[in-house]
Structure 1
Amino acid sequence: MKKSWNKAVLLGLGLFLFLAGIVTGCGSNGGNVQTGASGGSSGTKPTITFGVTPWTSTIPPTQVAKAILEQMGYTVKLQDADAGVVYAGLSKGDIDVFMDAWLPDMHKNYMEKYQGSIEDVAVSYPDGELGWVIPAYVEGIESIEDLKGKEELFGKKIYGIEEGAGMTITSREMIQAYGLDLEYQASSEPGMLTQAKRMISAKKPILFLGWRPHSMFVRWDLKVLKDPKDFFKTSEVHVLVHKGFDQKAPEAYQFLKRWSIPVEDVEKMILNIEDGAKPEDVAKEWIKNNQDKVNQMMGK
C-alpha cells in the first residue's frame, strides 16, 4: 500500500508540473511574439538594405526612413556605393531600397537597363533642379550658349561627379551639342565641391555641376546657366525598391509607398550635417518635429 501510495503521489506531481509548464509557456509568449513582415513563423522581420550614393541629397531621406523602419521593428543596413552599383544591387536584390532616384531623365539609363527588376514606389519630392552652375560674380554669362568662345575663362574645364552618373553622361553630350571646347573633369561630389570652394574663395571663375536640394546654393551665390537645348529638366526624386520587396517586407513596402518629404527640409538637414551634426540625430529631430506626417506614412 505504501509503495502504491508513493507511486500515485509521484505521478500526480509529474502531471502537475507538465500542466504548469504548458500554462507558463503560453503566458511567456502572450503578446510578445513579433509577427514577421514576411508572414513567416520565425517571428522576425527581414533585414532591409538601403543603397547610399555619395551624394549629400541621399543621406537625409535615407536616415529618416531608416529610423522609422527601425521603430517598426526592422533591422536596416546601409550599403555605400556609387549610382551604378546601387542600381545593379537593386536589380539583383542585394539592395532593397534607394531613396534618391532622379527621374525621368538623369537616371534614365539605369532605369532602362534594369526596368524589369526595379519598382518605382513613390515621389520623394517633385522639384529637384540641376544643371551647370557658375558663381554669380562671373558676369556676362547667363546661358550655356554664352560659354562659346569663353571656355578659357574656366580653364577649359567643367568639374563634375563620378563616371556613369546621369549628369556626367548628359554633360558630355552637352559639350558636343553646344560645340564647346571643354574637358569634363569627373570626380566625386566631395571632390568637385572642394575644387569649387577653392576657386570661389579666391573669387576665380569656375564651371561645375549643381543640383537641388544642396547646401551649395545656401553657402555660395550661384546661378544655374540657362539650357536652351533643354538637356536638363526639373527632375522628380523617387524612391525605388527591388521588385519583389512587397513580398519580402509588406509593411515596409506600404510605408515607402506613402513616403514624401519637402525638399526644403532635405536642404536644412544637409546643412546641419555639413555643420557637424550626426545624420542619425538630424533624422531623429526631423521625425520628432513631423510626427503627424510620420504617422501618416506609417498608415496610422
Structure 2
Amino acid sequence: MKTMIVAVLAGLAWSGTALAEDASCARIRSADMGWTDIALTTNTAAIVLEAMGYEMTNTLLGLNITYESLKNGQVDVFLGNWRPAQDIEFKAYYDNSWVEVLGTNLTGAKYTLAVPTEVAEAGVHGFDDLAHFADKFGRRIYGIEPGSNQPLLDMVAAGRHGLKDWEVVESSEQGMLAQVQRAVARDQWIVFLGWQPHPMNLNYRITYLSGGDEEFGPDFGGSTVRTIARPGYAAACPNLARFFANLAFDIDTENAGMQMILDQGLDARAAAAALIKARPDRLAAWLDGVTTRDGRPALDAVRPALTR
C-alpha cells in the first residue's frame, strides 16, 4: 500500500503543480543581452508560458552579469548559451554546477568574424589575412555589446593572427550593423562579428572567415544554442524544465522572425506571436508532456488561445 501511495503522489506531482512545483515557479525570470535572436526566442517562450498560466519577465543584462545572476538565483533561465564560445569563457560555471542545462534550442548556428563578400573576393579569406590589409580595415574589428566580445579582446591582447595593435570596437548589435550597412553602401572594408541565424545573412553578401578555431571553435564557429537555468531549477520546477527542454527552433524560422524585427519594425513579441500563428504545428512538440500551471494538458489550453 505504501508503494502504491508513493507512485500515485509521483504521478500527481507531474500532472499538477500543487505538488510538483515550488511557489516561485509561477514567475519565470529570464535575461538577454539585447540580441535579436534571443529576444525572439525568449518572447516566444513568454507567450506560450502566459497561455499556460505562468508569468515571464525579461531583463536586459550583460553576459557576465547573466551568468552571475543565474549562479546567485537572481535569474531563472537564459535561452542564449551559444556554444562552444560561452562554454570556454564560462567553463567554471559548468564545471562547478553554478548553472544547469535544460536543453538545446537551436542547431546549425555559426558565430565568427565576417566580411562583405567583395572584401573576401579581394583576398581576405581567413583571420590570418586581416593583418595584410590593416590599413584597409583601419585596424578595427567591430563587435557587439561589452561582455560578448571576450574572444576577440583576448585575441588582440595576445597578438594572434598579427592583430596585436588592432582595436575591438564594442557597441551593440544594432550599432555594429549600422557600421556594416554604412561600409557596404560606401564600398569600404569592414570586418565584424557575424552569426547565423540573423537577417544580416539575407540582407548582405557576407563571407565568414576561416582560421578562427582558437577564438570561436571549428567549422566557422559552428554553434549550438542551449537553454540554461539557475542551479536546482529543474528539480524545483519540473513542468517548466520539461517545456524548456522541448522548446527548439530552426535557422530558417529565426531568420524570418529576426527579419520581421530588424527590417519590418515589429517588436520581438509581435514577431514571436506571428511565427506561432504561422506554425501552430510546433506547439505539439513544445508542449509534449507539459501541463498548464493548474495541471491541465498544456496543448489543449494553449493551441486555441494562440492560433485563432
Which category describes the TM-score, using the shorter chain as reference length? Answer: 0.7 to 0.9
Counterpart CA distance in 2 for 1:126 and 1:120 is 15
> Structure 2 matches for 1:64-75, cutoff 5 A?
64-75=44-55
Closer/same/farther in 2, CA of residues 41 and 88 from structure 1, 3 Å limit:
closer
Structure-2 residue corresponding to 1:145? 128
Counterpart CA distance in 2 for 1:98 and 1:192 is 23
> Structure 2 matches for 1:83-94, cutoff 5 A?
83-94=63-74
- Given the alignment, which residue of 177, 182, 188 partners 2:172? 188
Structure-1 residue corresponding to 2:83? 103
- Given the alignment, which residue of 48, 73, 84 partners 2:28? 48
Contact 1:45 1:73 in 2 (8 A): no
Contact 1:129 1:211 in 2 (8 A): yes
Select between 245-254 and 205-214 the one with higher mean Cα deviation.
Answer: 245-254
The answer to whether residue 189 in structure 2 is matched with residue 205 in structure 1 is: yes
- The Cα of 1:172 is off from its aligned counterpart by 2.6
Structure exhibiting the larger radius of gyration computed from Cα positions: 1
Aligned sequence identity (%): 26
Structure-1 residue corresponding to 2:247? 259
Counterpart CA distance in 2 for 1:70 and 1:258 is 17
> Structure 2 matches for 1:138-287, cutoff 5 A?
138=119, 139-165=122-148, 168-175=149-156, 176-180=159-163, 181-227=165-211, 230-233=214-217, 234-274=222-262, 275-287=264-276
Any stretches of 5+ residues in structure 2 without a counterpart? 1-14, 290-308
- Given the alignment, which residue of 288, 295, 299 partners 2:277? 288
Closer/same/farther in 2, CA of residues 131 and 294 from structure 1, 3 Å limit:
same
Q: Secondary structure at the match of 1:193?
A: helix
Any stretches of 5+ residues in structure 1 without a counterpart? 1-33
- The Cα of 1:263 is off from its aligned counterpart by 1.7
Q: Secondary structure at the match of 1:51?
A: strand
- The Cα of 1:293 is off from its aligned counterpart by 2.2
Higher RCO by CA contacts (8 Å cutoff, separation 6 or greater): 2
> Could you tell me the TM-score, scaled by structure 2's length?
0.79
Q: Secondary structure at the match of 1:54?
A: coil
The CA deviation string for residues 102-126 of structure 1, in whole angstroms up to 9 with x for no partner, is 1123342224246422111111112
Aligned-partner residue type, residue 72 of structure 2: K
Closer/same/farther in 2, CA of residues 149 and 68 from structure 1, 3 Å limit:
same
| Residues matched between the structures, number | 264
Give the aligned CA root-mean-square deviation in angstroms.
2.3
Counterpart CA distance in 2 for 1:250 and 1:113 is 22
Aligned-partner residue type, residue 132 of structure 1: L
- The Cα of 1:190 is off from its aligned counterpart by 1.7
Aligned-partner residue type, residue 296 of structure 1: A
